[in-house]
Amino acid sequence: MRNLSGKRVTVVGMARSGTAAVELLVEKGAIVRAVDEKVTGEVAGVRIEPQNEAAFTDADLVVLSPGVPADLDVLHGRRVIGDLELASWFLQGPIIGITGSNGKTTTTALTGHILLASGVPCQVGGNIGTPPCSMVKPSRADQWNVLELSSFQLETIEEFRAQIGVALNITPDHLDRHHSLENYAAAKRRLFETQEDGDYAVLNADDATCVEYAKHTKGTPVWFSLQWPVSSGMWLADEVLHYDREVLMRAADVPLRGRHNLENVMAASIACRLAGALLEPIAGAVKTFPGVEHRIEFVRRVGGVDYYNDSKATNVDATLKSIDAFPGGLWIILGGKDKDSDYTVLREPLLSKARAALLIGAAAEKIKNQIGNAVPIVDSGTIEQAIRTAAASAVAGETVLLAPACASFDQFNNYEHRGKVFKELVNQL
């Protein structure tokens, strides 16, 4: 249905992605209905309607924003795609698609940084920054599209194809939406199922689910590993990153904190090499990468106490990686909107590295029950109170870390909003 002129299309969800979809559809001549449960007003001359059954009457196509579940009753019997699939019908140029439970944003931003530093034209977007539909107009046949891709975006693709697909890791996340780890992993797997001969699947050899993805793609697997040499790809040995038979760089020269970021660097480096960048410029670009806002982001030091913003740690595995990036002395802020997560796995790391857990938000009681007496618990309620408590209690050499292990939607608009509030409060100390 690439000719949308005169087609009746209903777009559900008027956040950034949905708004961009409406604008693209109007440009392509579709008859558009924009619906949302909360937002009112208009987009590109289209009035936003309430989300009810009447809004889907006579729709030839339904386009979902990533935040809208694909299993709504009102969608049964209708052709449903996401904004990613819609954008892919018109996007010019090859695609690097990056998915995984954790590290997507860093790896996507790093990939774009390396390509541009290497003189390889690209634009960056997807689940990070620019919505896919907003990338259509500036796209060119000779330019790479580097896309961060969530399970919500991938579960509704049909023909979307990434010439280079990347899977960083698969750990439990969004189980409140996907209902099981198997469903969640299957949504991510769609990235590789639509690949063709001549494409590449960049996969984490240390992750069993990523290894399984190699069986479901026509793309050529290229591996990365922190544990052992791989047949084709990158690995870490003697604290040096090796790319096939060549050396990329020393691990100590990677400016990002945490072992997990070595995986992100390997994945981004492979993708960029496959896209035409050379190893020396790749290594040089990695060394100049400033990191991503809200991802183990140093805020400031006050009275010898360091404050770090890892608001992007929206699931338990991300928080485990965040804790692992520090030697100890942590005053860690946990909590927010629960995603049907298991917090018991935080017990041992907190026992060995944390001074206290400061709990905020709707998930506080569940986290308290599941981590038990592994570490002193402070019921803070809000980030403001948590920071006040930590600032009064932490001593020089210790660290206050926001790594919530939860979504932000109980008290904030999104994880960026949460991170910005944290930074503003810390900067007021």
Q: What is the pLDDT of residue 143?
A: 98
- pLDDT higher than threshold 60 for residue 245: yes
Q: What is the pLDDT of residue 425?
A: 98
Kindly state the tokens that stand for 370.
Answer: 């599941």
Q: What is the CATH number of the domain that holds 223?
A: 3.40.1190.10
Q: What is the pLDDT of residue 280?
A: 97
Q: Which strands sit side by side in the sheet containing 46-49, from one edge to the other?
A: 42-43, 46-49, 31-35, 8-12, 61-64, 80-82
- Judge whether 194 lies within some domain: yes
Q: What is the pLDDT of residues 261-273, one digit of tens each?
A: 999 999 999 999 9
Q: Other CB atoms closer than 10 Å to residue 97's CB: what's the count? A: 30
Range of the domain at 54: 8-82
The SS3 assignment for 354 reads strand
Q: What is the CATH number of the domain that holds 343?
A: 3.90.190.20
Clarify whether residues 113 and 73 are in a common domain: no
Rounded to an integer, the average pLDDT of 216-235 is 97
Clarify whether residues 130 and 278 are in a common domain: yes
- pLDDT higher than threshold 70 for residue 136: yes
- Judge whether 102 lies within some domain: yes
**For the chain, what is the domain count?**
3
- Judge whether 292 lies within some domain: no
Grade residue 75 by pLDDT with cuts at 50, 70 and 90: confident
Task: Report the share of the chain in percent with pLDDT over 70.
Answer: 98
Q: What is the pLDDT of residue 128?
A: 85
Q: Give me the DSSP letters along 215-237.
A: GG-SSEEEEEESSS--SSEEEEE
- Judge whether 2 lies within some domain: no
Clarify whether residues 144 and 265 are in a common domain: yes
Token pair 């904190």 in the structure block, residue: 257
Grade residue 173 by pLDDT with cuts at 50, 70 and 90: low
> What's the whole-number average pLDDT of the chain?
95
- Judge whether 325 lies within some domain: yes
Token pair 């922190």 in the structure block, residue: 226
Distance CA 194, CA 349 (A): 39
Clarify whether residues 163 and 145 are in a common domain: yes
Rounded to an integer, the average pLDDT of 177-190 is 85
Q: Closest Cα partner for 164 from 130, 129, 114? A: 114
Q: What is the pLDDT of residue 192?
A: 98
Rounded to an integer, the average pLDDT of 397-403 is 98
Grade residue 73 by pLDDT with cuts at 50, 70 and 90: confident
Clarify whether residues 109 and 181 are in a common domain: yes
- pLDDT higher than threshold 70 for residue 177: no
Q: What is the pLDDT of residues 79-127, one digit of tens each?
A: 999 999 999 999 999 999 999 998 999 999 999 999 999 999 999 999 8
Burial 222-237 (b: 16+ CB within 10 A, else e): bbbbbeeebeebbbbe
User: Which of 39, 58, 82 marks a domain boundary?
Assistant: 82
Clarify whether residues 317 and 227 are in a common domain: no
Clarify whether residues 262 and 150 are in a common domain: yes
Q: What is the pLDDT of residues 226-235, one digit of tens each?
A: 999 999 999 9
User: Which of 82, 116, 144 marks a domain boundary?
Assistant: 82
Q: Closest Cα partner for 126 from 172, 157, 80? A: 157
Distance CA 374, CA 115 (A): 44
Clarify whether residues 128 and 243 are in a common domain: yes
Q: What is the pLDDT of residue 230?
A: 97
Clarify whether residues 152 and 283 are in a common domain: yes
Grade residue 379 by pLDDT with cuts at 50, 70 and 90: very high
Burial 288-311 (b: 16+ CB within 10 A, else e): ebebbebbbbebeeeeebbbbbbb
- pLDDT higher than threshold 90 for residue 199: yes
Rounded to an integer, the average pLDDT of 215-235 is 97
Q: What is the pLDDT of residue 250?
A: 98
- Judge whether 160 lies within some domain: yes
Clarify whether residues 130 and 16 are in a common domain: no
Interhelix angle 415-427/383-393, nearest 10 degrees: 40
Clarify whether residues 95 and 78 are in a common domain: no
Clarify whether residues 74 and 101 are in a common domain: no
Distance CA 276, CA 292 (A): 24
Q: What is the pLDDT of residue 71?
A: 81
Q: What is the pLDDT of residue 39?
A: 87
User: Which of 269, 287, 305 marks a domain boundary?
Assistant: 287
Q: What is the pLDDT of residue 69?
A: 84
Q: What is the pLDDT of residues 320-366, one digit of tens each?
A: 999 999 999 999 999 999 999 999 999 999 999 999 999 999 999 99
Q: What is the pLDDT of residues 380-392, one digit of tens each?
A: 999 999 999 999 9
Q: What is the CATH number of the domain that holds 27?
A: 3.40.50.720
